[in-house]
């Protein structure tokens, strides 16, 4: 193949890449070869593609091709990775339909990563059974791996995570002695906090062996083993009756084909009188997650639109009491994680290879961008059974301030006294 011919192919491939990406303000450079940016646009970012194989994959599937190329170091981005990702999301919105290859990859992943009982165990293992030390490098001290709630822009990640847990407990109106089921409990921070601060007893479920082991050790060291039971099992096996149900960051792993399983679990657990809270990554309308994220980071994950998520609640006649969208809080949470992740790179590099770390950097930076620009949402949905008599009367029960104590409920006390 002559140099001239190769050059022509390269330019054609570059044009395709920009077209599939919705003509972002980007200059794409093939190392030692051609470069291109959309005509009439002042490029704000530069993407360096180091070889033709990476270019070909990028052209065939811009999402997965970029992710794989970036992780392998065959693609580099000049400048801020978060801003680059934001620009890509914005431009992609103008693309009417994704390419054939991209759609095939997406479908293939959907099929192979189905969240059946066996599939879920495998999917969870791939992400959450990484060694706890890896997460300890960049999460807060209690290892909360979900969106925090920042009372102010200057709040620390540690504070945001404590406030988040407190707000959830107050939204649920937990009272000492009540029984709570938690589906997808991570390293156990919320379950332990509910037990310690609100005096409830908790049965917390999780498929990750690594996380459950860690959570049990923490319960023991806090003297809470009698009050909090950590169970290594599927959410579909939750049995017993509970006053409240809580799930933070698990619905994303359930998969819409299995929402009716979760709906049935809720009905069995809560009957008509319980209440609950679902906290999950969602979307403004139905769409699959990035294929690369599903391939490398979260196998089988799906972020539902709010109406899709409501199919978990409406069959059981659970009424939505309150929905809060925390997407800006998640962007801030992820910024904190990414900052710590970068700072700990040298230590992390002793446990993980470069490709793994570059993939995680892209996942964290891309997620900041996705929540900033509304590509992803974070919904916190409070709901109550039709016979539940412990509902939110006013929003005062979930105060914005962290200073309020667990026992005091401004407003609602007066209401409950007057209305009962």
Q: How far is the CB of 86 from a copy of itself (least distance, A)?
A: 12
92 is an interface residue for a copy of itself by CB under 8 A:
no
- H helix or E strand, kind and range, residue 179: strand 179-183
CA dihedral 176, 178, 183, 186 (to 10 degrees): 20
Considering only 130-138, 198-206, 249-257, 309-317, which stretch makes contact with a copy of itself by CB under 8 A? 309-317
Binding to a copy of itself in span 146-185, by CB under 8 A: 151-154
* HSE-up of residue 225 (Cα within 13 Å, Cβ side): 9
Q: How far is the CB of 269 from a copy of itself (least distance, A)?
A: 17
Token pair listed for 314: 């409406």
How many Å is the maximal CA-CA distance in the chain?
87
Residue whose CB is less far from a copy of itself, 229 or 391: 391
Letter string b/e over residues 381-405, b meaning 16 or more CB atoms within 10 A of that residue's CB: bbbbbeebebbbbeebbbbeeeebe
CA dihedral 8, 14, 17, 18 (to 10 degrees): -120
* One residue of 73, 79, 177, 286 binding a copy of itself per CB under 8 A: 286
Q: How far is the CB of 244 from a copy of itself (least distance, A)?
A: 17
Residue whose CB is less far from a copy of itself, 101 or 306: 306
Residue whose CB is less far from a copy of itself, 232 or 391: 391
**CA–CA gap between residue 418 and residue 413 (Å, rounded):** 8
28 is an interface residue for a copy of itself by CB under 8 A:
no
**CA–CA gap between residue 164 and residue 402 (Å, rounded):** 10
Q: Backbone phi, then psi, for 155, in 5-degree steps?
A: -60, 150
328 is an interface residue for a copy of itself by CB under 8 A:
yes
**CA–CA gap between residue 233 and residue 237 (Å, rounded):** 7
Binding to a copy of itself in span 380-409, by CB under 8 A: 384, 386, 391-396, 400
79 is an interface residue for a copy of itself by CB under 8 A:
no
Residue whose CB is less far from a copy of itself, 53 or 395: 395
Interface contacts to a copy of itself, rule CB under 8 A: 93, 151-154, 284-286, 305-307, 310-311, 313-315, 317-325, 327-328, 373-374, 377, 379, 384, 386, 391-396, 400, 411, 414-415, 418-419
């Amino acid at each position: 193949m002559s140099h001239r011919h190769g050059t022509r192919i390269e330019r054609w491939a570059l044009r395709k890449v920009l077209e599939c990406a919705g003509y972002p303000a980007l200059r794409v450079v093939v190392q030692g070869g051609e470069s291109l940016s959309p005509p009439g646009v002042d490029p704000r970012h530069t993407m360096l593609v180091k070889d033709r194989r990476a270019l070909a994959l990028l052209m065939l599937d811009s999402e997965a091709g970029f992710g794989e190329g970036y992780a392998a170091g065959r693609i580099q981005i000049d400048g801020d990775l978060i801003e680059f990702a934001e620009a890509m999301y914005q431009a992609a919105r103008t693309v009417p339909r994704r390419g054939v290859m991209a759609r095939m990859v997406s479908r293939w992943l959907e099929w192979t990563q189905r969240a059946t009982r066996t599939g879920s165990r495998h999917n969870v293992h791939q992400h959450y059974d990484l060694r706890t030390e890896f997460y300890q490098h960049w999460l807060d001290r209690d290892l909360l791996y979900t969106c925090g709630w920042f009372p102010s822009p200057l709040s620390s990640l540690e504070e945001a995570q404590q406030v988040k847990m407190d707000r959830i407990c107050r939204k649920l109106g937990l009272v000492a002695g009540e029984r709570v089921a938690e589906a997808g409990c991570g390293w156990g921070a919320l379950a332990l906090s509910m037990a310690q601060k609100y005096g409830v007893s908790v049965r917390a479920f999780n498929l990750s062996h690594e996380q459950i082991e860690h959570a049990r050790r923490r319960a023991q060291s806090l003297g809470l083993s009698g009050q909090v039971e950590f169970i290594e099992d599927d959410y579909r096996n939750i049995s017993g009756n509970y006053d409240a149900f809580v799930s933070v960051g698990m619905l994303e792993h359930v998969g819409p084909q299995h929402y009716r399983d979760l709906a049935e679990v809720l009905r069995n657990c809560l009957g008509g009188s319980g209440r609950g809270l679902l906290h999950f990554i969602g979307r403004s309308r139905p769409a699959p997650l990035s294929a690369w994220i599903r391939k490398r980071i979260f196998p089988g994950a799906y972020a539902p639109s709010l109406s899709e998520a409501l199919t978990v609640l409406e069959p059981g006649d659970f009424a939505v009491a309150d929905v809060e969208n925390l997407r800006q809080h998640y962007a801030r949470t992820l910024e904190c994680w990414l900052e710590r992740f970068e700072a700990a790179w040298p230590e992390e590099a002793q446990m993980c290879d470069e490709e793994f770390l570059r993939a995680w950097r892209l996942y964290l930076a891309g997620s900041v961008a996705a929540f900033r620009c509304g590509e992803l949402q974070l919904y916190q949905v409070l709901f109550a059974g039709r016979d539940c008599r412990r509902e939110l009367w006013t929003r005062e029960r979930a105060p914005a301030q962290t200073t309020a104590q667990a026992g005091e409920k401004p407003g609602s006390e007066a209401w409950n006294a007057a209305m009962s």
